[in-house]
């Protein structure tokens, strides 16, 4: 049943354990209220006095009265973490990357979510087209913020065409409700050449600025085009001059917003700067890195963290250290390669005898226009690193892996890559500090006691 939630397990020492609630029991209601999802559950269990209705596997129902501290968790873990089905996307966006996936991959890679709850929980972006009045009311009631919204354009007619949804323009009105309720939001524009760029981009930026201060930021990122686009809308890739024009537009508006609101508000994805062959902006330009997961400011943050960590490392390596002779290797996507190479060169200057081979892996699987490391596959890594100097350890970025597992997009595992290349593999988190930490132990081994 929709509002019945099976319990997976109970935390040891929790209130639920004390009340003899067990795995296999089913939650029917809290405080006589049906529970739609995890947000209903958390809201209803915040109080000091809670009444929980449980059905045992035998069919017997227990009404349990609980007294506890406010906000104290009951210790119940449900089989479905969201306590509801995920809401899928019904749009047919011209730029959707999932539509550009090759056949034969695992089913989860083809699921399109458009769930406002995942926007709050995981930072996913939603188009608003799948959001009912009930959803809006719950966002406001539970203060589910910030909500991340895929605007793409503020031209209603153009939005309908880009999303292939006749309600997509009307859905923009829901932003007014969120704004009036003071719900914090972040936005994104996936820019498509000849569609929502140039004058349309200028129009969208101007319209979106009306939602400041509750709309905290808007990112502009280039459309990702894989080689699997047969039967899809014809889209052209951006070139160097296009990227320079986009950056110029963004910087112009940033200057205005800084003067008027004290924030930059509109931000360009890192890919624009790499494509334009320009240095990414300084740290102050990112207003606290509000959209890292969207590829905005990731390279700048990595470099800033690296410089601080490198300074600390220099302080630990004093005169009199004996040199170490070690060779390691690193592989990354084309986007981050220039920065990873720069960081590796700096480390080699500090650590005598340390050699780091840095390799840029071209994404032949999805197409050469896909440059982020998070979409690299095991087969591309294998084919391009085979026969290369890899040293005693190969370091790969954490974002190539499926969350919590050691498997890549094409279902190859780290052990498969390690065995084929005959080199141990270590995973490095996507931060400058982690980059230094990965080799700091090697450098410190050269320290004279």
Q: What is the CATH classification number for the domain harbouring 55? A: 2.30.42.10
93 belongs to a structural domain: no
Looking at per-residue pLDDT, the higher value among 403 and 18 belongs to: 18
Q: Of 295, 328, 355, which residue sits at a domain end?
A: 295
Question: Residue 294 pLDDT more than 90?
Answer: no
pLDDT-derived band at 448 (thresholds 50, 70, 90) equals very low
Q: Are 163 and 286 in the same domain?
A: yes
Q: Are 231 and 307 in the same domain?
A: no
Determine the pLDDT at residue 273.
95
Tens-digit pLDDT profile for residues 50-86: 999 999 999 999 999 999 888 788 999 988 776 666 6
Q: Of 295, 327, 342, which residue sits at a domain end?
A: 295
Report CA torsion sign: 11, 13, 14, 15: positive
Distances 396 to 339, 375, 414 between C-alpha atoms, Å = 15, 13, 10
Tens-digit pLDDT profile for residues 332-384: 999 999 999 999 999 998 888 889 999 999 999 999 999 999 899 999 999 99
87 belongs to a structural domain: no
Q: Of 295, 323, 339, which residue sits at a domain end?
A: 295
92 belongs to a structural domain: no
Determine the pLDDT at residue 319.
46
Tens-digit pLDDT profile for residues 95-115: 888 888 888 777 666 556 655
Query: For residue 234, what are the contacts with CB-CB under 8 A and spacing of at least 6?
Result: none
Report CA torsion sign: 380, 381, 385, 386: negative
How many CB atoms sit inside 10 A of residue 308's CB? 13
Name which of 82-86, 299-303, 314-318 the model is least confident about: 82-86
Tens-digit pLDDT profile for residues 219-265: 999 999 999 988 889 999 999 999 999 999 999 999 999 999 999 99
Q: What is the CATH classification number for the domain harbouring 291? A: 3.80.30.10
91 belongs to a structural domain: no
Q: Are 41 and 9 in the same domain?
A: yes
85 belongs to a structural domain: no
Q: Are 393 and 283 in the same domain?
A: no
218 belongs to a structural domain: yes
Q: Are 127 and 179 in the same domain?
A: yes
Tens-digit pLDDT profile for residues 123-170: 678 888 888 898 888 889 888 889 999 999 999 999 999 999 999 999
Determine the pLDDT at residue 351.
83
> Mean per-residue pLDDT for 265-292?
95
Q: How many Å apart are CA 295 and CA 282, to the nearest integer?
A: 15
Q: Are 58 and 143 in the same domain?
A: no
Q: How many Å apart are CA 81 and CA 152, to the nearest integer?
A: 30
Residue ranges making up the domain that contains 374: 301-444
Domain count, the chain: 3
Q: Are 129 and 179 in the same domain?
A: yes
Q: Are 404 and 322 in the same domain?
A: yes
Q: What is the CATH classification number for the domain harbouring 410? A: 3.40.50
90 belongs to a structural domain: no
Q: Are 283 and 313 in the same domain?
A: no
Q: Are 139 and 271 in the same domain?
A: yes
Q: Are 290 and 307 in the same domain?
A: no
> Mean per-residue pLDDT for 313-337?
77
Query: What is the per-residue burial (b if ≥16 Cβ within 10 Å, else e) of 203-214?
Result: ebbeebbebbeb
149 belongs to a structural domain: yes
Name which of 172-181, 273-282, 291-300, 310-319 the model is least confident about: 310-319
Q: Are 274 and 129 in the same domain?
A: yes
């Amino acid at each position: 049943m929709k509002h019945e939630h099976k319990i997976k397990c109970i935390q040891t020492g929790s209130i639920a354990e004390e009340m003899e609630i067990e795995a296999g029991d089913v939650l029917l209601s809290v405080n006589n209220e049906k529970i739609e999802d995890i947000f209903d559950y958390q809201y209803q269990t915040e109080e000091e006095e809670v009444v929980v209705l449980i059905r045992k596997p035998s069919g017997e129902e227990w009404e349990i009265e609980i007294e506890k501290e406010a906000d104290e968790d009951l210790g119940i873990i449900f089989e479905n973490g969201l306590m509801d089905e995920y809401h899928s996307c019904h749009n047919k966006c011209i730029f959707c990357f999932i539509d550009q996936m090759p056949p034969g991959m695992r089913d989860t890679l083809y699921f399109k979510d458009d769930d406002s709850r995942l926007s709050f929980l995981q930072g996913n972006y939603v188009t608003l087209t799948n959001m009912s009045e009930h959803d809006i009311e719950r966002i406001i009631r539970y203060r589910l913020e910030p909500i991340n919204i895929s605007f793409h354009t503020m031209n209603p007619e153009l939005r309908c065409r880009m999303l292939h949804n006749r309600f997509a323009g009307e859905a923009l009105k829901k932003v007014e409700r969120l704004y009036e309720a003071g719900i914090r939001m972040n936005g994104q524009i996936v820019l498509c050449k000849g569609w929502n760029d140039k004058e349309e981009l200028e129009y969208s930026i101007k319209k979106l600025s009306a939602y400041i201060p509750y709309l905290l930021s808007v990112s502009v990122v280039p459309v990702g085009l894989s080689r699997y686009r047969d039967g899809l809308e014809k889209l052209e890739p951006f070139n160097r001059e296009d990227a320079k024009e986009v950056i110029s537009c963004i910087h112009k508006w940033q200057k205005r917003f800084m003067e008027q609101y004290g924030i930059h508000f509109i931000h360009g994805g890192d890919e624009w700067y790499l494509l334009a062959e320009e240095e990414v902006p300084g740290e102050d330009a990112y207003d606290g890195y509000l959209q890292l997961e969207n590829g905005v400011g990731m390279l700048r943050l990595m470099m800033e963290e690296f410089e601080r960590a490198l300074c600390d490392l220099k302080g630990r390596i004093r005169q009199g250290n004996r040199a170490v002779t070690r060779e390691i290797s690193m592989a990354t996507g084309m986007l981050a390669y220039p920065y990873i190479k720069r960081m590796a060169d700096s480390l080699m200057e500090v650590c005598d005898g340390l050699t780091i081979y840095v390799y840029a892996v071209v994404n032949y699987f999805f197409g050469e226009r896909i440059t982020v490391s998070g979409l690299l596959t095991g087969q591309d890594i294998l084919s391009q690193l085979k026969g290369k100097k890899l040293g005693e350890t190969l370091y790969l970025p954490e974002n190539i892996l499926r969350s919590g597992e050691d498997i890549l997009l094409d279902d190859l595992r780290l052990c498969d890559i390690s065995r084929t290349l005959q080199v141990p593999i270590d995973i490095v988190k996507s931060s400058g500090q982690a980059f230094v930490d990965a080799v700091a132990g090697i450098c410190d081994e050269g320290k004279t006691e």
